[in-house]
Structures are given as structure tokens and as C-alpha cells.
Amino acid sequence: MWPFSRKKSEHALGLEITPHAVKMLELSLQDGFYRIESFAIVPLAPETMQQHTLQHPTAVTQAIKQARRQRGFSLMQAATAIPDAIVISKVVQCDAEMTENALLEQIQLDAVHYIPYSLDEAALDFTVLGVAENDPSKVDIYVVATRQAHVATRTDAIKRAALQPHSIDVASNALARACQLMTTTLPIKNKDPIIAVIDIQSTVLTCTVLHNAQSCFSHETAISSLTLESCVDLIRHTLQQFFMASTYNHVDYLILTGDEPSLPTWCESLQTHLAIPCSMAQPFGHMAVHPRVNLADFHAAVPALVVCCGLALRSFME
């Protein structure tokens, strides 16, 4: 099982490890209002991670230590994430009366049919979503799995930086949690919108589709040439894949995230080329900011901190 904390906190630290950078964000919650306490983005060398596998975990540890020294993070625990590209997720149904231990046993028995490696190598976790719509005697279970090695290398790198990884999430779940802070302010007429979050890094474009505040599709594509035209084609192609793999035939809104500096200038062009309303991610609009945070630096970093935001928010919601 992946380690999950159940204790609520007044402060929370989200830590995302990507192929290009270590990103950290500390939030606090006081009297029902969030405040940004600190943030950091420390670049990583290209060889640090290959195919989402940490090749040089020491570089991640050093990046975390550097961020803590420079930005004064106060917490000793952090929530982190595993990227969707190395996660297998599935919704299964089980009898509603089963105990948690019985559920785990059943999930492990069924997992051999959809996990393409030995269960001895797998880290499994599950969440009960609720009563199944098609059968009240069943419950829908959201199951996630990844290789234990992916969890171990990340948690070990974090621990060596004198932090305790108290929870591990799937990146798209953290993304969906952060985007919930935005959906009520977006100019969308549909009460139940389908939102595609497009994350653009220097070498990778990831499309995550959200519906009912949950991820229902995630696809990662390598970028050979980072231009507006190439990204338009990739987004269009990926959305077609989503339509073919689901019962949906439209997307109501696009949200852009990522650490590519040109993203803010692309919104209008993407909206024109794809005929879908588009804006930059901004889950921090109603949050206060600690005086020590440099506002200009933070606003420039916002599109790259969305997953970190969702990771921190989880600590307040458990």
C-alpha cells in the first residue's frame, strides 16, 4: 500500500518531482482561508530522470535541500505524486458489504488481470468512490498501481533531504483537486463541464481531461519541436484519442499549465485554432500571500505549481 496520512494540518507542503525540476509549495489554512507561505522551483539536469525513472536520486535530494535553504520551508512532511504515465488506474466493482481487508484481498486477486508485472513489484492503493449506479449492492472502487521502485526512489530521495513523505498521490488527482478552485470562476455555461488541462514542458505535452472533479483521461506525448503549431496539432490529436476512447465528443474548456515561458502568449492562439475557450491555470486567485513571497516571481511560477497546489490541498481535505 502507498503511505497515506489521515491527520488534518494547518500547514501543508506539496512536492512534485518532474523530469525537469523539483517544485515545492507550502500553504496554510487559517479561518477557512488559504495562504501561500513559500514556493520554490529548482531545475534538474536532463539526465536526472529518464522515462519517469529516477536515474540520479541524489540530484533530487540536493535540489530539495537547496529549495529549503533558499526559501525557508518550515514543514518536515511533504505530499508528493507519481506521474500518470507510470500509473495504472482502474475503476472496479465489489460487494458493498465487504470489509477493507476483504476489499484489498479481492483487488489483489483481480489486479493480476490488468497489471503487466508481478504483484510482488507493485504498489497498490484504492479508494471507495461510492455506491455503483448500475447496482446498489456494489461499490465503485478506484484502484491505482505503480511499480514499488518508482515509489521507493522518490520517497528515499525526499527522506535524504530530511523530509518525511507522508502521502503519495497520482499527479492527475492532484491536478483535479487544484482545478476545482478554478471551475466556479471560469466562463463556462455547462454546469457539468469537461475540462482538458494541457501541461506543456520543454519536451513533453500531457493532456488530462477532468469531469465531475475527477480525471477521466490522461495522455503524455513527447515534443520534438516546441512550437505553437506543433502543440496545436498534438492537442487536437490527443483530444481525438480521448473522444474515441470515451463516450464524450466535446471539451468545454482548456486550462494551460507548465513551465514553458511562452505559454501565456499562446492562450488566444490555441483558442482560435482549436475553437475551445482557453486560459492559464490560476488556482491561487483567492489566496493570501505571505509577505516574504516575491509576488513577481510567484506569478511567473503559477502555471508550474498547479500539481503542488493539489498535493498541498489534499492534506487539508483528509
Instruction: Point out the least confidently predicted range of 35-39, 188-192, 198-202, 310-314.
Output: 188-192
In a domain, 100, yes or no: yes
Say what the pLDDT of residue 6 is.
43
> Which residue, among 158, 203, 174, 167, has the nearest Cα to 51 in the 3D structure?
203
Q: Are residues 157 and 210 in the same domain?
A: no
**In a shared domain, residues 113 and 191:** no
Residue 8 has a pLDDT of 52
Dist. CA 233–CA 256, nearest whole Å: 15
Contacts of 225 (CB under 8 A, 6+ apart): none
Shared-domain flag, residues 141 and 270: no
Judge if 130 and 77 occupy the same domain: no
User: Quick one: which of 315, 93, 283, 79 has its CA closest to 195?
Assistant: 283
Residues whose CB is less than 8 angstroms from the CB of residue 284 and which lie 6 or more positions away in sequence, other chains included? 36, 181, 302, 309
Where is pLDDT greater, at 213 or 222?
222
Regarding whether 153 and 35 lie in a shared domain, the answer is yes
Query: What average pLDDT does range 167-190 have in this prediction?
Result: 89
- Enter the DSSP assignment of 265: H
CATH for 60: 3.30.420.40
pLDDT confidence of 282, banded at 50, 70, 90?
A: very high
Q: Are residues 60 and 111 in the same domain?
A: no
Q: Give the domain extent around 37.
A: 11-81+149-176+286-317
Is there a domain that residue 2 lies in? Answer: no
Residue 299 domain flag? yes
Rounded distance, CA 54 to CA 120, Å?
20
Q: Is the pLDDT of residue 41 over 50?
A: yes
**Would you say residue 109 lies in a domain?**
yes
Same domain, 141 and 263: no
- For the entire predicted model, the pTM comes to 0.91
State the chain's mean pLDDT as an integer. 91
Within-domain flag for 300: yes
Q: Are residues 26 and 134 in the same domain?
A: no
- Let me know if residue 104 belongs to a domain: yes
pLDDT of residue 76: 92
Q: Are residues 48 and 164 in the same domain?
A: yes
Are 160 and 290 contained in the same domain?
yes
Question: Is residue 171 located within the same domain as residue 302?
Answer: yes
Is residue 6 a part of any domain in this protein? no
Within-domain flag for 215: yes
Please determine, for residue 1, whether its predicted confidence score (pLDDT) is greater than 50. no
Q: Is 226 left (phi over 0), alpha (psi -120 to 50) or beta?
A: beta
What is the number of domains present in the chain?
Answer: 3
